Structure 1
């Protein structure tokens, strides 16, 4: 069977034929934009030639008893979304991706995931859509759950090696088009994870000191000036980053050396204010986009220790700039990480949903271009209508579009309005561990002045959970039965 991308067949566009499970396994990272670690991926195919269509991706749930329910939700989501955009799929291709744990082997992973593959085949068959192929990718090898035979030469029990990087037709086509080889999902997440090592203690101390200094000013009504100072610091650091090398190995480490702990503390705490964050989001295009993206990533890495929850703001800004630049896989990763930290962070919810549903970021760009100084953006959907309104001409509709790569996501009616409500409360500058007390954190040996309560630490847990189990167990990496946000 030959498969093509969703865009294949258009005027002047290159068509790449994929023949056999080996080429399917090699093409998956190029189709998604990253190597999907610990993931189940379903891709719809259309027509006699098996043109690739929509897709869904989910972290593999930890508990086997959840698999049948999750399989039904994934199959239904993909088929329903495809019907709304490009018609009911003629078939589905399934990928189960998980590397072996230390001490394990890839064949054990394949056998462990066999019931999940069977549950997905049954769920798709129940919707009258056959599974043409179901592959397990583990440890650089692949197995077929559908087309395997008893011949050990053809289908070795130990699996078949995936093609070496850069040797396949898909890799050649990507290189010809000037595309970089996809990185892994873990690598994209690693670039946004909190730093470790000696800098952590210094950064925590700087954050403590900055919080103590800002609380009295906020209580005195000096938020506007604080926002202006925050943006001035951001501009200085962006200029510094813009003059440094932006490519090559070690770029993140170089960026970290160009950002002092005091600058990072002032920016991290200043961006907790919605208006300041929205004004910072205007750095999204042109020559300023790349330095801004590097700054937001660096700030996310500086949210260490008890201040890890403060990373929701820089992660969301990083996701927004990625999306604005057309880098959707990186955008989804950053926005998912923001929502893992704070599931009620409305700006991240809205961007994540809009990105997954294939909306054009130009609508948000226009809002930010018109943003007056000292004012937060008034996005079209902040009246509660949701970003789904008025997009019928794009062929997008419903809660589960065909092109999204992860399920579930909060729908418009499920979005709480806490820190992003119209009447923005004073930002909570305290570390999450201190919320619920009456005092912000401070360096050891110093007095701790009382601070504002700010945003509530309580969470309602609202958010659509397609096919989610009523249990609250989570699988490693924050991926549970309910999937990623």
Structure 2
């Protein structure tokens, strides 16, 4: 069986993988033959790009020229209640099968995995027995679709069990130990190809989650102060552009500070160093300033070259500072982090950051469009070209024009000038009524909108973003909500539940 890796598309607790992209380059570069349950168990982290926890996983297999190849992969968190297992198994099987069919390659067979660590008082063998009905449901649901499961494995406590193999020699009742990380043939091939397996999704998301430390009150107080000073200025046409320039100048200064910082070893230590380089007031000014969608779009142009790495660290650090009642404000820095990661080839972090942005604000359309495009396996180059053009025309910090100026502002073909930032007009709803989330002509906001905390963000960024990426991403003209992968899966339970 030849390993044929494909891009992973996570949502909040579900990952869908489609779009062929062989490990190590072209399909002819690296071929790894997997023959035993042990080899299939060891391959799972390399198929997903991380080590799954509390997960049910399906891997599609295709027969190409008499040689089996891995196809798409799909993961869901294991629902806490067994009554939900059947619907979750059906969702997983149908999602992967229909996604593969949509790309013209229906799977011939599947490999199923259930992964969970023991609860207190349990052993790995207890987990295997408890999850046996779930593994059987996966086999049944795939069978309903005429896609047989040829192997079903349980991975727990560093061991694996096969639900299909009756031979005690290779699959003993007490389980067989997993290979040491990095020692398998597939691990050697992945290392040669420059592919790294992350830790767990929990560890990846920890880099992007708000602080839960004693510094939270200070940061929230700084955000309160910044909101009092910046929100009125952003909502006023005469001062909005000035705030944008100040925000981008501060971001430029901090990017240089991050680029010149002394390297440290270890991801956690590196994040602590980055947090120390950013004071509370600086973080607050940037977080509030990036709520303006035009400012955010200009910052999105910093996604390649020498600036990409330090600016990604900055966006992560800002996401960690969106504490307390400012949790929803993290949608902007998380979306920027996801865009930089995707643009630089890190699809896994991109999807996690964009899914977390949608978790912070499900209506943040820029994140939704990018998340959908990333899940669809589209090439970010078309968006990069658009941003490069803006950067070249307007200078390193970008110009005042919205990125969306290069794409149709309305999917139906008509440009709505009221959508332009700072136009002074309120965007109308489809029913003709004004949108209460938009500022009034005098720059004020309806009383119910608040003044800078909770759900309020100046300029309602994220609600008017389709113009910037629709043409490049080929999203649905109804607003980019095409396909299940575009919307985070909320059923079930996984390590992403917060």
What's the TM-score bracket when you normalise by the shorter of the two chains? 0.7 to 0.9
Partner of 1:308: 327
The residue number in structure 2 matching 1:119 is 137
* Alignment-derived partner of residue 88 in structure 2: 70
The structure-2 alpha-carbon separation of the partners of 1:74 and 1:438, relative to structure 1 and needing over 3 Å to count, comes to closer
Q: Measured at CA, do residues 263 and 112 of structure 1 come closer, stay the same or move farther in structure 2, by a change above 3 Å?
A: same
Q: What do the CA deviations read for 1:39-86 (whole angstroms, capped 9, x no partner)?
A: 222111111432111122222222322222222232222222223335
CA distance in structure 2 between the aligned counterparts of 1:204 and 1:255, rounded to whole angstroms: 19
Contact 1:274–1:424 at 8 Å: present in 2 too? no
**Residues 284 and 57 of structure 1: is their aligned pair in 2 closer, same or farther, counting only changes over 3 Å?**
same
Superposition deviation, residue 29 in structure 1: 1.2
Residue 74 of structure 2: SS of its match in structure 1?
Answer: strand
Look up the match of 2:13: none
Alpha-carbon contact 1:245-1:251 (below 8 Å) kept: no
TM-score by length of 2: 0.77
CA distance in 2, matches of 1:220, 1:67: 52
Please say if residues 135 and 142 of structure 1, whose CA atoms lie closer than 8 Å, have aligned partners that are also in contact.
yes
Q: Classify 1:220/1:332 alpha carbon distance in 2 versus 1 (closer, same or farther; 3 Å).
A: closer
Out of 296, 299, 308, the position equivalent to 2:315 is: 296
Name the structure 1 match of 2:150: 132
| Contact 1:3/1:45, CA 8 A, preserved across alignment | no
Question: 1:93 and 1:479, CA in 2 relative to 1: closer, same or farther beyond 3 A?
Answer: farther
Q: Deviations along 1:162-217, whole A, 9 cap, x unmatched?
A: 11112111111122233334321111111111123232121111111111111332
Distance 2:457 2:497 in 1: 33
Residue 244 (1) aligns with residue 257 (2): no
2-side partners of 1:377 and 1:274: how far apart? 10
Q: Relative to structure 1, is the Cα distance of residues 138 and 118 closer, same or farther in structure 2, using a 3 angstrom cutoff?
A: same
Scaled by the length of structure 1, the TM-score of the pair is 0.79
Match of 2:164 in 1: 146
Written as runs of structure 1 = structure 2, the 5 A alignment for 1:20-419 is 20-47=36-63, 48-149=66-167, 151=168, 154-221=170-237, 222-246=239-263, 248-249=265-266, 250-371=269-390, 373-378=399-404, 380=407, 383-384=410-411
CA distance in 2, matches of 1:377, 1:473: 35
Structure 1 residues 159 and 381: CA distance shift in structure 2, 3 A: farther
Kindly indicate whether the alpha-carbon contact (under 8 Å) linking 2:79 and 2:491 is maintained by their aligned counterparts in 1: no
SS of the aligned residue for 2:152 comes to: strand
Instruction: Provide the C-alpha distance between the structure 2 equivalents of 1:165 and 1:465, rounded to a whole number of angstroms.
Output: 35
Counterpart secondary structure, 1:268: helix
Report the alpha carbon displacement of residue 105 of structure 1 after superposing the two structures with TM. Answer: 2.9
Cα offset for 1:452?
Answer: 8.6
Gaps of 5+ in 1: 386-415, 428-434, 443-450, 481-485
What's the offset of the Cα at 1:11? 6.2
Q: Helix, strand or coil for the counterpart of 1:370?
A: helix
- Mapped to 1, the partners of 2:481 and 2:60 lie a distance apart of 26
- In structure 2, the CA distance between the partners of 1:129 and 1:381, relative to structure 1 (3 Å rule), is farther
CA separation of 1:301/1:80 partners in 2, compared to 1, >3 Å: closer, same or farther? same
Runs of at least 5 residues in structure 2 that lack an aligned partner in the other structure: 6-21, 413-428, 441-446, 464-479
Comparing 356-365 and 191-200, the one that deviates more: 191-200
Query: How many pairs align?
Result: 424
Mapped to 2, the partners of 1:241 and 1:29 lie a distance apart of 31
Maintained 8 Å contact 1:30/1:182: no
What residue in structure 2 maps to residue 4 of structure 1? 3
Equivalent residues of 1:192, 1:297 under 8 A apart? yes
The SS at the match of 2:60 is strand
Q: 1:17 to 1:381 in 2, by over 3 A?
A: farther
Equivalent position SS for 2:209:
coil
Q: Within 2, Cα distance between the matches of 1:375 and 1:205?
A: 33
Measured in 2, the distance between the counterparts of 1:118 and 1:39 equals 15
RMSD of aligned Cα (Å): 3.4
